[in-house]
Amino acid sequence: MGTPLSMENQIVAAIRRIMRAVDLHCRRLAEEHGLTGPQLATLQAAASLGESSTGILARAVHLSGPTVTGILDRLTKRGLVDRTRNGQDRRSVTVRLTSDGEKVLAAAPSLLQDRFRQELVSLEEWEQTTILATLQRIAAMMDAETLDASPLLVPGPLDAVTQGAPPVMPLVDPPAESGEVEAIPEHMPTVSGRIRKELPV
């Protein structure tokens, strides 16, 4: 048994586990299905909405119009969505899921935040409020409370791509081998000195 972690390091370790969970889920999604989290969210929204505009899709997934346009460009190249221009208004574009897109979506896992929400809604309202207040306080302690963020649990930029891109470098070191306990530094862990290659959306 190693030396017990201090309270501060237990908190840091808990944050690190969340970071690793997000990173590992996103890497599995990319490696096994060739998708990023935002791409999967966009496919899900397209399936739910049926034929819709880019703007409606962007609002559904809580992303900016330009970001969703970039996502749709890549999904269109893969034949997962189809975009057609309105005959009367050429500026209006209708987006719909293709049969290939339906197959990919059926095989893909749920988004990490979807599973988290399922657990979250089972809690009492006071528990949800406590979690929110604590996380907002943590964000403030990291000078991150003013950063813009969408409700998607993914690492890196939301317009990262996967097709033909190198694998994502993990945000944190890989899990320790079985039987080993990862050492937690005395300071807040930061991204290692390795250059992280982002997946394009």
**Tokens 């929204």, residue located:** 45
Strand-pair partners of 97 = 81
Query: Does the predicted model carry a pTM greater than 0.75?
Result: no
Sorted by sequence, the CB contacts under 8 Å of residue 159 that are 6+ apart come out as 38, 67, 70, 71, 200, 201
> How many angstroms separate the CA atoms of 161 and 165, rounded?
7
Least confident of 82-86, 144-148, 156-160: 156-160
Selecting from 3.30.505.10, 3.40.190.10, 3.10.180.10, 1.10.10.10, what CATH number does the domain 1-201 have? 1.10.10.10
Give the pLDDT band (50/70/90) at residue 165: very low
pLDDT tens digits, one per residue of 87-137: 666 567 889 999 999 999 999 888 877 888 889 999 999 999 999 999 999
Dist CA 156 CA 35 (whole Å): 14
pLDDT, the chain, mean: 77
